[in-house]
Amino acid sequence: MPNTKFRPADRVINNPPYAFAAIGNEVRAIMVKGADVIRLDIGSPDMPPAPHIIETLVEQSQASNTHGYAGYAGIPTLRSAITDYYQRRFGVTLDPDKEVLPLIGSKEGLVNMHLAWLNPGDVALAPDPGYGAYNVGPQIVGSVVETLLLRPENNWLPDFSAISPEILEKAKMMWLNYPNNPTGAVADLAFFEEAVAFCRANDILLCHDNPYGEITFDGYQSVSPLQVSGAKEVVIEFNSFSKTYNMAGWRVGMAIGSATAVEALSKIKTQFDSGFALPIQRMAIAALTGDQGWLIERNQVYQRRRDLVIATLADLGIMVPVPLATLYVWFPVPAGYTDVDFHRKLLHEAHVSIAPGSIFGEGGRNWMRLSISTASTRLEEALARLREVMGETD
Ligand code: PLP
What percentage of residues in the chain have a pLDDT greater than 90?
Answer: 92
Closest ligand 1 atom to the C-alpha of 130? 3
Closest ligand 1 atom to the C-alpha of 107? 16
**For residue 293, is pLDDT > 90?**
yes
More confident residue, 7 or 394: 7
Q: With bands split at pLDDT 50, 70 and 90, how would you rate the model's confidence at 22?
A: confident
Q: Let me know: does 213 contact 179? Beta carbons within 8 Å.
A: yes
Q: What pLDDT, on the 0 to 100 scale, is given for residue 19?
A: 73
Q: Let me know: does 67 contact 293? Beta carbons within 8 Å.
A: no
Site residues for ligand 1, CB cut-off 6 Å: 43, 105-107, 131, 177, 181, 209, 211, 240, 242, 248, 253
Write the pLDDT tens digit of every residue in 195-246.
Answer: 999 999 999 999 999 999 999 999 999 999 999 999 999 999 999 999 999 9
Q: In angstroms, what is the span from residue 207 Cα to ligand 1's centroid?
A: 14
Q: With bands split at pLDDT 50, 70 and 90, how would you rate the model's confidence at 291?
A: very high
Q: What pLDDT, on the 0 to 100 scale, is given for residue 394?
A: 43
Q: What pLDDT, on the 0 to 100 scale, is given for residue 76?
A: 97
Q: What pLDDT, on the 0 to 100 scale, is given for residue 14?
A: 73
Q: What pLDDT, on the 0 to 100 scale, is given for residue 358?
A: 94
Closest ligand 1 atom to the C-alpha of 109? 16
Give the list of residues 6+ apart from residue 383 with CB closer than 8 angstroms, or none. 308, 309, 312
Q: With bands split at pLDDT 50, 70 and 90, how would you rate the model's confidence at 4?
A: confident
Q: What is the DSSP string of 48-91?
A: PPPHHHHHHHHHHHHSTTS-S---TT--HHHHHHHHHHHHHHH-
Instruction: Report the range of poorest mean pLDDT among 13-27, 34-48, 156-170, 374-388.
Output: 13-27
Q: In angstroms, what is the span from residue 329 Cα to ligand 1's centroid?
A: 16
Q: In angstroms, what is the span from residue 106 Cα to ligand 1's centroid?
A: 6
Which among 128, 240, 243 is the best mutation to test ligand 1's pocket, defined by most ligand atoms within 8 Å of the CB?
A: 240
Closest ligand 1 atom to the C-alpha of 180? 3
Write the pLDDT tens digit of every residue in 50-93.
Answer: 999 999 999 999 999 999 999 999 999 999 999 999 999 999 99
Write the pLDDT tens digit of every residue in 321-365.
Answer: 999 999 999 999 999 999 999 999 999 999 999 999 999 999 999
Q: In angstroms, what is the span from residue 336 Cα to ligand 1's centroid?
A: 32
Q: What pLDDT, on the 0 to 100 scale, is given for residue 355?
A: 96
Q: In angstroms, what is the span from residue 107 Cα to ligand 1's centroid?
A: 6
**For residue 3, is pLDDT > 80?**
no
Q: What pLDDT, on the 0 to 100 scale, is given for residue 1?
A: 64
Helix/strand/coil for 254: strand
Distance between start and end Cα atoms, the chain: 58
Average pLDDT over residues 263-292: 97
Q: Whose CA is nearest to atom 11 of ligand 1?
A: 107
User: What's the whole-number average pLDDT of the chain?
Assistant: 95
**For residue 393, is pLDDT > 60?**
no
Q: With bands split at pLDDT 50, 70 and 90, how would you rate the model's confidence at 20?
A: confident
Q: What pLDDT, on the 0 to 100 scale, is given for residue 23?
A: 84
DSSP letter (8 states) at residue 349: I
Buried b (16+ CB within 10 A) or exposed e, 245-266: bbbbebbbbbbbbbbebbebbb
**CA 87/CA 94 separation, integer angstroms:** 8
Which among 44, 106, 128 is the best mutation to test ligand 1's pocket, defined by most ligand atoms within 8 Å of the CB?
A: 106
Q: With bands split at pLDDT 50, 70 and 90, how would you rate the model's confidence at 2?
A: low
Closest ligand 1 atom to the C-alpha of 131? 3
Q: What pLDDT, on the 0 to 100 scale, is given for residue 108?
A: 97
What percentage of residues in the chain have a pLDDT greater than 70?
Answer: 97
Which among 18, 20, 46, 107 is the best mutation to test ligand 1's pocket, defined by most ligand atoms within 8 Å of the CB?
A: 107
